[in-house]
Amino acid sequence: MEALLQQIEQYKKEIAAVEASTAEAVENFRIQYLGTKGLVKSVMGEMKNVPNEQKKAFGQLLNEFKSFVENKFEVLQAAITNTDAGTENQIDWSLPGSHVPVGTRHPLSMIRNQVVSIFKSLGFAIAEGPEIEDDWHNFGAMNLPEDHPARDMQDTFYINQNPSWLLRTHTSSVQARVMETQKPPIRVICPGRVYRNETISARAHCFFHQVEGLYIDEHASFADLKQTLYFFVQEMFGKDVKVRFRPSYFPFTEPSAEMDISCLICGGDGCNVCKHTGWVEILGSGMVHPKVLENFGIDPNKYTGFAFGMGIERICQLKYRVNDLRLYSQNDIRFLKQFTGVV
Ligand code: DAH
């Protein structure tokens, strides 16, 4: 210990005496004393040999020593920047610029932006809602009362502190919020993140993304719903993609339908993604259930509406052939950089 203290004093004397008149000399000082393999680092390394009861006092001493060296470095640096020679040495205008790596947009953001801009071109506005929702907006208002068996389709995360709060399981909750605050005609799309209590695998995740659409007006019909979605599919996937509707069930729409498109991976011949059917489901849709309209004081005899909800990951899978949902949230640069310059 004693020897080390003396040694530090000795170093201090040496350092105090250092002179440096050029930028290069100042840089050498920095490397020699403050660099990653410099003196300060190695003296700091002695800490591990100091007995526990002396660590505190010794630590203080080492910090003082470090500040002493840093101070000296600043003094040397200030001295050379004040001289012409120093300035000349310091800035070499011919040096190449340093490379700043450019990031890329996340593929899910790219798809979301595309979906949003397609619907914007049809006059839809964007609406957003909270990810932590109450039971009413996520379920009740959407005609899924407590104990409704259809709640089983969406395994829900509840919030411990208040079991009437939950993480929204679908962006349909934003429909409820829009109808609460706006009067028809309504034309909105609602992109956002949703949560379900699923075991994470290549095909399922506990969070994912949806875009919800809602259109309410005096004569909105199923034909409008179909035409809107045809338009969307053609813009998103190209003119050659085929579309089909299948009858389905959602408590918030009547009638309800799911929409499939011809599989983009195999062109309809059959593959793993389309489970050898040639078709993949991309969204749920239907005419807004009269009860849902009534929940928000919208007269179902005067107004009708259509709604739809789609998964962004699914669209991304079809467009970019991403076959494992986990890739989206792992932040692996090898995955993300494949989307450089895509949009
Ligand atoms: N909320 C449904 C889901 O998450 C998707 C959906 C289906 C939304 C039909 C709609 C709809 O607006 O009309 O599975």
Tens of pLDDT, residue by residue over 219-257, are 999 999 999 999 999 999 999 999 999 999 999 999 999
**67-90: average pLDDT:** 78
Select the more confidently predicted residue: 254 or 154. Answer: 254
Residue 160: CB atoms within 10 A of its CB come to: 7
Q: Is the pLDDT of residue 23 over 60?
A: yes
Ligand 1 neighbour 307 (Cβ under 6 A): yes
Ligand 1 neighbour 172 (Cβ under 6 A): yes
CB 210 within 8 A of CB 315: no
Distance 51 CA to ligand 1 centre (A): 66
Beta bridge partners of 159: 162
Ligand 1 neighbour 284 (Cβ under 6 A): yes
pLDDT for 162-200, tens place per residue? Answer: 988 999 999 999 999 999 999 999 999 999 999 999 999
pLDDT of residue 101: 80
Ligand 1 neighbour 309 (Cβ under 6 A): yes
Which region among 107-111, 148-152, 248-252 has the lowest average model confidence (pLDDT)?
A: 148-152
pLDDT band at 87; cut points 50, 70, 90: low
pLDDT of residue 310: 98
Stretch (H or E) spanning 224 = helix 222-237
pLDDT of residue 305: 98
User: Mean pLDDT in the chain?
Assistant: 92
Percent residues over pLDDT 90 in the chain: 72
Ligand 1 neighbour 212 (Cβ under 6 A): yes
Ligand 1 neighbour 250 (Cβ under 6 A): yes
**62-71: average pLDDT:** 93
Ligand 1 neighbour 311 (Cβ under 6 A): no
pLDDT of residue 98: 87
Ligand 1 neighbour 253 (Cβ under 6 A): yes
CA 13 to each of CA 16, 27, 39, 62, 339: distance values in angstroms, whole numbers, following the listed order: 5, 20, 14, 15, 57
Pocket test for ligand 1, best of 119, 153, 171, 172 (most atoms within 8 A of CB): 172
pLDDT band at 89; cut points 50, 70, 90: low
Distance 196 CA to ligand 1 centre (A): 14
Beta bridge partners of 68: none
pLDDT of residue 268: 85
Nearest atom in ligand 1 to 309's CA: 8
Ligand 1 neighbour 196 (Cβ under 6 A): no
Select the more confidently predicted residue: 108 or 2. Answer: 108
Q: Is the pLDDT of residue 86 over 80?
A: no
Q: Rg (Cα) of the chain, in Å, rounded? A: 32
Distance 329 CA to ligand 1 centre (A): 23
Which region among 10-14, 126-130, 309-313 has the lowest average model confidence (pLDDT)?
A: 10-14
pLDDT of residue 88: 53
**How far is residue 315's CA from residue 317's CA, in Å, rounded to a whole number?**
5
